[in-house]
Structure 1
C-alpha cells in the first residue's frame, strides 16, 4: 500500500471509531433514568363509597319559558355516613333537598355553557357537604342528565 492509501484507511478507521463512540454515549444518555422529582409526592385518593341519590326532576329557573331537568345523581363519599336501621331516608332527604335547591336555581343557559356541568358539580359538592358534617363528598356523578 502506498502512503496516501494508508492515511485514508487510518482516517476511515478513526471516523468509524468516533461514530461508534457517539452511538454508545447516546444510548447511555437516553437510558439514564431521570431523578425522582423533588417536593411533594402526589397522594392517590382511595375511591369512596357510592351513595345513589336517585332520580330527580326539577323546574329550572328560566322565565318566561319553562324548562325541566331530569337527572340521576350518585355521590362518591368518604367518611362515616350516619347509620340508620335499613331506612336511609334520614340521610338522603336533606341531601335531596339541597340538591333540588341548587338545581332549581339554575337556568338552562348556565348549564349549557362549556363548563356548566362541572360548575354545577362543584356547587352540588358544597351543598351536600353542608348536610353531611362527618362525610366528605369527593365527586358527583350524573348517571342520567336530560334537559327540556
Structure 2
C-alpha cells in the first residue's frame, strides 16, 4: 500500500481532536472551581507559553498551557496579579529543557514538580496544590 502525506494529515487531525476535549476539560474544571468556591479549590489557567527548547538553535518550539490548582479564591486573585512573574518562571524552566527532556514522561513529571516549587516560592505560599499540563505541543 502506498503511504501518503494524507495519512499524516489525518493523524494530525485526530490528535488535534483528541487534544481539544482535554483542553475543554481544563476549562470546565476552572468553571467548577469558581462555582464551587465554598470548597476553596480554584484552577487558574495560564495559556500560550511558547519557547525554543535548549540546544535547538531556534529550529524547534514548544507551545504549552497550564492549570494551577490553588487552595483558595484569594490566592487566585494574587496569582492573577503576579501572572507576569509566573509566566517568566515558566519560560525560564521550559526553555532550559532539551527536546529529549520535554518528550520523556519522567522528565515531564520532574518538570511539573519544579514548576510547582518555583511558583510556590514566587507566591510565598504552599497554596499551589497541583500543576496540570492543559496543552503541550512540541514541533
Paired with 1:65 and 1:93, the residues of 2 have a C-alpha distance of 23
| TM-score of the pair, normalised by structure 2 | 0.62
Please give the per-residue CA displacement for 1:113-141, whole angstroms capped at 9, x wherever unaligned.
23121111011101111110135211111
Pairs aligned (count): 99
Indicate the structure (1 or 2) with the bigger Cα radius of gyration: 1
What is the CA RMSD across the aligned residues, in angstroms? 2.2
1:109 and 2:103 are equivalent in the alignment: no
- Quick check: 1:77–1:135 contact (8 Å CA) kept in 2? no
Distance 1:67 1:82, change over 3 A: same
Distance 1:82 1:71, change over 3 A: closer
Paired with 1:113 and 1:83, the residues of 2 have a C-alpha distance of 33
Distance 1:63 1:71, change over 3 A: closer
Tell me, which stretches of 5 or more residues in structure 1 are unaligned? 1-45
| TM-score of the pair, normalised by structure 1 | 0.59
- Quick check: 2:63–2:137 contact (8 Å CA) kept in 1? yes
Which has a greater percent of helix? Answer: 2
Tell me, which stretches of 5 or more residues in structure 2 are unaligned? 1-38
